[in-house]
Structure 1
Amino acid sequence: MVLRSRRCRRPAVAISLALLVLSGCSGGEDGDGESAAPQAPTVVKTSTGTFRGLHDDGVRTFQGIRYAQAPTGVRRWALPRTATAPKGVQQATRPGPRCAQAAATPGASPALSEDCLNLNVTVPGQVRKGEKLPVMVWWHGGGYTSGAGSDYGARRLADSHHVMVVTANYRLGVFGYLGLPGLDGSGNFGFADQLESLHWTKTNAEHFGGDPGNITVFGQSAGAMSTCAMLTSPAARGLVDKAIVMSGSCALSWPTGTLFPGAPAQTPYSTLAADQAAGVAAAKKLGCHGERTTACMRRLSVKKLVPLNQEFADHLAYNTPLLPKNPAKALSEGDFTKVPLISGGTRDEARSFVGGALKADPDSVTAKTYPQLLRSAFGSHAQAVSQEYPLSKFDGNAGLAWSTVATDSAWACPTLRGNQELARRTKVFAYEFADPDAPDVNGIGKTGLPQAAAHATDMPYLFDLGGKNLLHAAPQKQLSAQIIASWTSFARSGEPTAPDTDWSAQLASQGKALSLAPGHVRPVDTGKEHHCALWNKVTPS
C-alpha cells in the first residue's frame, strides 16, 4: 500500500469504528417504569412530515427523518434548504441513507447516496405529564469524510436519564467541504447541514416531548471540531444552550506527521482560500476547469467523486459568512457563544492513528525512523523532545513512544490550553477519558501497541455501536453509567453530576481535568501528565 499524507492520514480513525460492522441488538434495562408515566405515541407530526417510529427496548426511535431537501442535481454544493412535508404518514423505522463515503472495510461497497440529510430521534418510551426533556444533538466523527448518525444508538442515554437525543447526518468529504471561487457556501456545506439539523431540532423538539429552550450539542472528533466551530458562528447564536466537545478542541494543532507519518502540519480548520485552491486542483484532476467548473463537477457521478473525499478531510473553511474567523482565534479573543461546556479527550488519543499507520506500513514508525519523525515534526526542538521521550522510557517500542509524543503535543496540551482560554469566559468542565482496557473500536489489532484509551474508544461508554453494547466488564459498565449520568445531567442543568463523581469547574482553569477510568474517577494534573510545560515552548498556540 502506498501511503500519501493527505489521502491516507486517518486509516484507523475515519472512525470506521471497525466494530460497527457487527450486527445485532444489545439488551438493556428498561426505564423507570413508573405507573404515572404513560406510553408515548409513535406517530409524531413535525415541520418536515408526519413520522411513525418504533417502541424499542424502553425507548421510542424515529429513524431516517429528512431535515433538509436532497442536495442533488443543481443543489449539489448548495446550502441546505428546509425540507417540505409530504402527505401521509412516513415510516421512520429504518436508518436513512449514509452520506456518500468510501467503503468502511476492504471489500465492502461505498455509500453512494447524496440524498442523505436525515436524522434520528431517540426518546424515552414513557413520559410524565408535562415533562420537558433536555435535548442532546449529536454530530458524529470520522474526519469529515465518513460516518453516520445512525451508527450511534442512543438508547442508554434516552432511557436511563430521560433525555431526547438527535443524531444527524451531514455531507462529507468533497460533497461537504469543496471550495471553488464564486461558489456560495464554499467549504461550509457539511457545517451548514449541521446547523440546519439544529434548526430542525429547535423547531420540532416539543413534538417529541423535548424542550426547545434546553438544547445541548455534543460531538466527537470531527463532530466536536464542528461543535466548537459552531460556538463561534454568528449563524448559530441562540440555537444552543450547552455544548460537549469530545476530542475536538478548537485549539488542536497537529505538527508534521503527528496525524500520520508524512502528513503536513495542520489544524482542524482551513482558510477559504486554501479550500478553494484545493477545490480547483481536485476539479482539474477530473477534467473540470474554467468558468464552468461547478457545472462540470455537478455532472460527474457520485462514484467518480467519492475517491476525492479524503482530499477534503479537515477542510471546514473559515473567512466565510458562517465562520468569519478561525475558530481558534475567535476562542482566544472571546468571540464565541458563552454557554457551559464539557471539554476533553482521551488519555492516549494518538494510539489510534499510530496503530493505523503501523497496520498500513509496519516500517513507518520504528526505532530507525523515530529520530526523523521528531526532526520533521519539531525541527530544532527535536533533541529536547527526544530527551523527554527517549525510546528507553518505552522499552524500545517506537510506536508507543511516537504515539505518546503525538498525543501530548497535538491533542492533550492544545486541548488543555483551549480549556483554559474558555474557562476565562465561561464555565468549563474538563475531563480525560482514561480506561486502558477500553474496547478497540478502531480495529488497530495486533500492532505491537498495548491497548489504551485511544481516540474514539470512549464512544461505547455513551452509545451502542452497530446495535451492540460493547461493554461487558462490570467496572466498565459502572464507568459508562457515571459518564452517561454526567453528560445527561449537564444537558439538563449545566452541572455534570453523577454518583461517586465530584467534578469541579475549577479544574479547567488550573490546567487539570477529571480522569474517567473504571474505579478511579478523580482529578488529575493533565498538564504534568502530558508534559505540557515542554509543549507550551515547542508548540505554543
Structure 2
Amino acid sequence: MNTRVHTTAVLSFAMTAILAASACTAGDTELGSDDGVVVSTTAGMIRGTVDGSGHRLFTSVPYAQPPLNELRWQPPRPMALWDGVRDAAAPTPGCVQDPGQTSAQVLQEDCLYLNISTPARLDPARPAPVMVWIHGGGGFAGAGADYRPTGFVSRGVVVVTINYRLSVFGLFNHPAFASSGGNLALQDQQLALRWVRDNIAAFGGNARNVTVAGESYGGMSICAQLAMPSSAGLFDRAIVQSGSCAIEWPSGALYSGSPPFAPYRSRTDNAATAVQAATEFGCSDPAEVERCLRALPTATLQTRTPSFTTITYDTPTLPRNPFDALRVGKFSRVPVLIGEVTNGHSLWVAAIVATQQAPITSDSYRSILSTAFGTVAAAVEADYPVSAYPTPAAALTAVLSDHSWACPMLDTARALAARVPVYTYEFADMTTPAPSPYPPSLPTGAAHGAELTYLFDLTPSPGPVVASSQPLATAMLDYWAHFIGTGNPNQPGLPHWSRSTISGDAVLRLTPGSHGITTELADNHHCNLW
C-alpha cells in the first residue's frame, strides 16, 4: 500500500488479442531533440523525457483502451493504433478512488496507463532486466505514479509501474458480467504484462527477464497472478512484499466490530455482495441490470469504492484460491523473493486506538482477543502476556502482526519452496518513519509499508530514511536488483542470503548494521500457535 493510503485502508481494506504489429528493438530507439526521447510501440510512437540523472521517463502510456461506456466491466482491450507521436511526459491520471489516496491529481475511469523508467545508457546488445511494479492500496486506492524507482533504475533495471481498475470498477464480480471472466483488476495487470512482453525491447528492456513485484495488495495480486493459468509465461520471477497468499484477519482486527476478512473470496460470496450493491443502485431487474449499471454516473459508483476489495476465485481468470494453488503446485514455477515487516499490524492497532478515542487497556486487550479468537483467546494471552510488552497496544500489535502477516508469509514461503527457489526476509528496522500519526501508547516499529521508503522515492513520502539506516537501504536495493536480474539476490559484498526450504528455516533479517540469516522467525512470531 502507498504509505498514506493506510489510514483510510484500515476501515475497508478490511484489504486479448495482441496487436499484429511487432515491437521495435532497443536499437530502434531514437534520441529526440531537447523535448525528449521518441520510441515506437505496437500502438504508435511516444515521446518521453530525460531527467537530471539521464534516466528516460515515459508517463501516461496507454496499455489498454479506455474502459468506458460499453467497455465498463469488460476485459481490457489492447490500445488502438494512433497516428503521429503521442506525448508521454504528461502526469498520469489515477483510477477512480477517494481523493487524497494517491499523488495523481486527476482521477478517472480512463486510467489504464503505465509509466516506464529506463537507465541513462542502454546497450542494445545487452537488454536490461525489467521490473513491473503493482501498487498496493487495499484494492481501492493508489497508483503506479506514486512510486519513483530511482534506485532500481540507477542499478540498471527498466521499471514499469502500472495502474489497474480499483474496487467497484475492477473487483465488482456481478453475475451479469460473469462472461467477462471476473477480476478485471487482475486482467488489467495481466494485459499490462502482455504489453511489457511485446514492447519493452523498444525501451532497452529484456522481455525474457521480467520480474513482477508488489507490496500489500500488490503482493496479494501477485499471488493471484502466480495462480492464474493465463498469466503463465508473462513473468520470470516474482517479489511479494507484505501481502502473502495465506493472509487473513480475525473478527475485530481491522476496526472495532470488523468481521473476519481475507483478500480472496469465492465467486458465490462476492456475487451476493455485488447483487446487493446493484439493488441499492436501483439496478435489480435481471433483464436490465447490465444496461442499468453501465449507465450509472462515475460519481455514483465512486461512493462504493471502499466496498469492493476482494479478489474472486472459482472464476475463469482465477480457478483456485491462490494459497490452495500453491499447496497443490498449480502455479507458475518462477523464483520468488518474499517477506514481511516485523510490526505489520501496528497501523490498524493505531486506528483502533484513534477510533475508540481511548488507549487499549489490559481489560480491552483481553476483550479484543476474545472477539478475535474465541475459545483459544486464553492460550493467545498466555503466549502474549501484557507484561511482556511496553503497553497493551504493543501486545495487540504483536498478536495480530504474527497471526495475520508474519506466519501466513512463512506458510506461503514454505509452500513455494517445495517447488521453486525462494528467498525470504523480515524487515525489522525500528527507526522507519511512521506512515501516519501514532498514539503515544504504540511504538511505530517496522510498520506495514515501511520497507517501501528504502526502495522507492514515494509520493507522498512519510519521511526520509535516517542516516544510520542508509546502508541498509543500499543493501536492500542491491539484493532486490540482483534478484530481478538473475533470480538470486546474492552478490559479493553482501551477507549471504540462503534459499528457504519447506521448513522455512532460512530468513534474512534486515536491520541496520547487522542484517543476516536467522532461523528463528517461526519461534519469534509464535507460528506454532497459529
1:510 aligns with 2:501: no
* Superposed counterparts of 1:403-442, under 5 Å: 403-440=397-434, 442=435
1:117 corresponds, among 93, 112, 118, to: 112
User: 2:318: which partner in 1?
Assistant: 323
1:259 aligns with 2:277: no
Partners of 1:253 and 1:186 lie apart in 2 by: 25
Give 1:453's aligned amino acid: A
8 Å CA contact 1:420–1:510 kept in 2: the answer is yes
1:145 aligns with 2:153: no
1:359 aligns with 2:351: no
Give 1:483's aligned amino acid: M
1:408 Cα offset (Å): 0.5
* Superposed counterparts of 1:99-118, under 5 Å: 99-104=95-100, 112-118=107-113
Deviations 1:436-456 (A, max 9, x none): 01122x213345211211100
Change (3 A) 1:325 1:478: same
User: 1:466: which partner in 2?
Assistant: 459
* Superposed counterparts of 1:481-500, under 5 Å: 481-498=474-491, 499-500=493-494
1:384 aligns with 2:389: no
Secondary structure of residue in 2 paired with 1:244:
strand
2:218 corresponds, among 197, 216, 223, to: 223
1:272 aligns with 2:267: yes
8 Å CA contact 2:13–2:139 kept in 1: the answer is no
* Superposed counterparts of 1:310-349, under 5 Å: 310-313=306-309, 315-349=310-344
User: 2:4: which partner in 1?
Assistant: none
Deviations 1:313-344 (A, max 9, x none): 2x110111110111111111111111100011
* Superposed counterparts of 1:79-228, under 5 Å: 79-104=75-100, 112-159=107-154, 161-183=155-177, 184-185=179-180, 187-228=182-223
8 Å CA contact 1:348–1:452 kept in 2: the answer is yes
1:115 Cα offset (Å): 0.2
* Superposed counterparts of 1:530-541, under 5 Å: 530-535=525-530
8 Å CA contact 2:428–2:511 kept in 1: the answer is yes
Change (3 A) 1:433 1:116: same
Change (3 A) 1:57 1:448: farther
1:506 Cα offset (Å): 3.5
Secondary structure of residue in 1 paired with 2:129:
strand
Secondary structure of residue in 1 paired with 2:529:
helix
User: 2:73: which partner in 1?
Assistant: 77
Partners of 1:404 and 1:469 lie apart in 2 by: 23
1:42 Cα offset (Å): 1.4
Partners of 1:348 and 1:55 lie apart in 2 by: 39
User: 1:444: which partner in 2?
Assistant: 437
Change (3 A) 1:135 1:430: same
Secondary structure of residue in 2 paired with 1:431:
strand
1:93 Cα offset (Å): 1.1
User: 1:289: which partner in 2?
Assistant: 284
TM-score of the superposition, structure 1-length normalised? 0.88
8 Å CA contact 1:420–1:508 kept in 2: the answer is yes
1:368 corresponds, among 363, 367, 377, to: 363
1:105 Cα offset (Å): 6.4
Deviations 1:288-325 (A, max 9, x none): 11212222121111111112111112x11011111011
Change (3 A) 1:91 1:146: same
1:287 Cα offset (Å): 1.3
Secondary structure of residue in 1 paired with 2:161:
strand
1:421 Cα offset (Å): 1.1
2:229 corresponds, among 228, 234, 253, to: 234
1:249 aligns with 2:237: no
Give 1:116's aligned amino acid: C
1:472 Cα offset (Å): 4.4
Partners of 1:467 and 1:386 lie apart in 2 by: 38
Give 1:163's aligned amino acid: V
Change (3 A) 1:511 1:281: farther
1:62 aligns with 2:84: no
1:14 Cα offset (Å): 9.5
RMSD over equivalenced CA pairs, Å: 2.4
2:521 corresponds, among 515, 522, 526, to: 526
Unpaired runs of 5+ residues, structure 2, are 1-6, 16-29
Partners of 1:217 and 1:261 lie apart in 2 by: 35
Deviations 1:225-273 (A, max 9, x none): 0111101101101111000000111111222222333222122211111
1:305 aligns with 2:301: yes
Partners of 1:8 and 1:364 lie apart in 2 by: 20
Change (3 A) 1:14 1:393: same
TM-score of the superposition, structure 2-length normalised? 0.90
Partners of 1:293 and 1:241 lie apart in 2 by: 41
Partners of 2:211 and 2:219 lie apart in 1 by: 12
1:10 aligns with 2:10: yes
2:471 corresponds, among 452, 465, 478, to: 478
Change (3 A) 1:39 1:452: farther
Partners of 1:348 and 1:365 lie apart in 2 by: 17
When structure 1 is superposed on structure 2, of 226-235 and 39-48 the one drifting more is 39-48
8 Å CA contact 2:9–2:138 kept in 1: the answer is no
Partners of 2:173 and 2:105 lie apart in 1 by: 23
Give 1:410's aligned amino acid: S
8 Å CA contact 1:14–1:145 kept in 2: the answer is no
Partners of 1:164 and 1:228 lie apart in 2 by: 22
Partners of 2:227 and 2:237 lie apart in 1 by: 13
Change (3 A) 1:278 1:13: closer
Partners of 1:219 and 1:14 lie apart in 2 by: 19
Q: How many residue pairs align between the two structures?
A: 502
Secondary structure of residue in 1 paired with 2:517:
strand
When structure 1 is superposed on structure 2, of 115-124 and 48-57 the one drifting more is 48-57
